[in-house]
């Protein structure tokens, strides 16, 4: 068949290929990017679904507005206001996962050949999605404090990108948190260079000990002009359930209008049943308790993983312990003649009975082959300890 030219820019995710190997019995997997299904508040979601069908069955089962189910938009706006962002319901649209918000941004903003700056490394699906629209991706370097803003400014000045895509809080895969100072700088750069900044924030609520700095969205009020150049994507996937497919996007009115138009041609609207269920769940006030529970579990697992990596891999790896989210991003040092290649280690690790994702696919360009990502989210602490031992044996 003669497929569209745009498919020439993308290939199947290397991670999905790796997942095919995970069927091996007894394997401990640090490879996923999923929340732990054992932590889903099944009772709460069952009650919310039942309440949605009882209180407003017509709305929950009928076609709905493309912008989203209004009671949910109200709840999501209140959720963000509680975190310091001044958001009204009409300033956001509900999307089918935040993944759709990223797709709508690609559709509305990116023409073939447009330059887009992303972090190196960044979320793989964003790389693929933006490439599908023909973006030429440019990677900005990161460290433990997120994107390096001096380098980012130099890249923006040189390339004048259509947009800058960042995951400022507990990034995937980096686990990094952009410092407050750099957040302010990013917003200033948006204004200085009149560049759209996309803040992708599915992990910000999953902090361990203390809340991260305010989102770019919350800070944008303090940097005049920046709110008009900011799109913010949120999601219930990592805090409540990815199967609901409820995400959202806050953006300037003109961009929101175009994205809504594109969504009409895409899926008409996000499942009204899922939206009504989510609205009931949030209105019942259950999210804070759910968040407290998942934060505590992920914090313990993250701590266990970092301790085990230090104890068993020693100076063979370097990493910055994450302050939240689902991932530890590590780099092989190659000391003592041990491997410094994440792809090689991933293959050897499977033989030892442990899986993780090498870092290479997370780079839009200039990959650092020594990197890899391990997720502690779905593995109990005993298995984490055992899995890291197997990883050490694979070195």
Ligand X SMILES: Cc1ncc(COP(=O)(O)O)c(C=O)c1O
Positions that interact with ligand X (CB under 6 A): 33, 97-99, 123, 167, 172, 200, 202, 235, 237, 242, 247
Whole-number Å distance between alpha carbons of 247 and 270 = 9
In the complex, minimum distance from the CB of residue 243 to ligand X, in angstroms, rounded to a whole number:
9
* Residue 353 or 358 having the CB closest to ligand X: 358
Contact 174, 210 (CB under 8 A): no
* Residue 123 or 356 having the CB closest to ligand X: 123
Query: Computed from CA positions of residues 185, 169, 147, 255, in that sequence, does the dihedral angle turn out positive or negative?
Result: negative
Would strands 354-355 and 327-332 be described as parallel, antiparallel, or unpaired?
Answer: unpaired
Whole-number Å distance between alpha carbons of 70 and 86 = 17
What is the full DSSP assignment across 199-221? EE-SSTT-BSSSPPSPPHHHHGG
In the complex, minimum distance from the CB of residue 149 to ligand X, in angstroms, rounded to a whole number:
20
161: enclosing H helix or E strand: none
In the complex, minimum distance from the CB of residue 99 to ligand X, in angstroms, rounded to a whole number:
3
SS3 labels along 66-77: CCCCHHHHHHHH
Q: Cis ω on the peptide bond leading into residue 345 (within 30° of 0)?
A: no
Whole-number Å distance between alpha carbons of 37 and 27 = 18
Provide the β-strand partners of residue 371.
331
Q: Among all residues, whose Cβ is closest to ligand X?
A: 97
In the complex, minimum distance from the CB of residue 98 to ligand X, in angstroms, rounded to a whole number:
4
In the complex, minimum distance from the CB of residue 354 to ligand X, in angstroms, rounded to a whole number:
21
Residue 308's SS3 state is helix
**DSSP structure class, residue 317:** E
Contact 31, 18 (CB under 8 A): yes
In the complex, minimum distance from the CB of residue 172 to ligand X, in angstroms, rounded to a whole number:
4
* Residue 118 or 395 having the CB closest to ligand X: 118
Write out the two tokens for 351: 């033989």
* Residue 121 or 353 having the CB closest to ligand X: 121
In the complex, minimum distance from the CB of residue 162 to ligand X, in angstroms, rounded to a whole number:
19
* Residue 202 or 212 having the CB closest to ligand X: 202
* Residue 67 or 119 having the CB closest to ligand X: 119
* Residue 171 or 214 having the CB closest to ligand X: 171
């Amino acid at each position: 068949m003669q497929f569209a030219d745009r498919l020439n820019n993308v290939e199947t995710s290397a991670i999905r290929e790796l997942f095919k190997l995970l069927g091996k019995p007894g394997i401990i997997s640090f490879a996923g990017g999923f929340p732990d299904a054992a932590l889903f508040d099944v009772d709460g979601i069952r009650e919310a679904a039942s309440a949605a069908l009882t209180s407003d069955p017509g709305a929950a089962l009928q076609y709905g507005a493309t912008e989203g189910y209004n009671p949910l938009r109200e709840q999501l706006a209140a959720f963000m206001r509680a975190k310091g962002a001044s958001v009204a319901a009409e300033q956001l649209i509900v999307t089918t996962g935040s993944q759709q918000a990223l797709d709508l941004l690609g559709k509305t903003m990116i023409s073939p050949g447009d330059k887009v700056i992303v972090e190196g490394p960044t979320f793989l699906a964003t790389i693929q999605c933006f490439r599908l629209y023909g973006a030429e991706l440019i990677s900005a370097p990161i460290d433990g404090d997120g994107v390096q803003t001096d380098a980012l400014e130099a890249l923006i000045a040189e390339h004048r990108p259509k947009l800058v895509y960042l995951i400022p809080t507990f990034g995937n895969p980096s686990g990094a948190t952009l410092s407050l100072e750099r957040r302010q700088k990013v917003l200033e750069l948006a204004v200085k260079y009149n560049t759209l900044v996309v803040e992708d924030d599915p992990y910000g609520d999953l902090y361990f000990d203390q809340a991260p700095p305010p989102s770019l969205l919350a800070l944008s009020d303090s940097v005049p002009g920046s709110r008009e150049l900011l799109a913010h994507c949120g999601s219930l996937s990592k805090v409540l359930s990815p199967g609901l497919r409820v995400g959202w996007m806050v953006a300037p009115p003109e961009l929101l209008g175009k994205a809504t138009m594109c969504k009409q041609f895409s899926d008409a609207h996000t499942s009204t049943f899922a939206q009504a269920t989510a609205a009931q769940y949030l209105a019942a006030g259950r999210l804070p308790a759910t968040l407290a529970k998942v934060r505590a579990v992920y914090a313990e697992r993250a701590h266990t993983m970092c301790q085990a990596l230090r104890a068993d891999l020693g100076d063979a790896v370097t990493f910055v312990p994450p302050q939240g989210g689902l991932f530890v991003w590590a780099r092989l040092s190659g000391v003592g003649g041990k491997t410094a290649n994440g792809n090689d280690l991933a293959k050897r690790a499977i033989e030892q009975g442990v899986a993780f994702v090498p870092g290479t696919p997370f780079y839009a360009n200039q990959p650092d082959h020594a990197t890899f990502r391990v997720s502690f989210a779905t593995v109990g602490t005993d298995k984490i300890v055992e899995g890291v031992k197997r990883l050490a044996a694979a070195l």
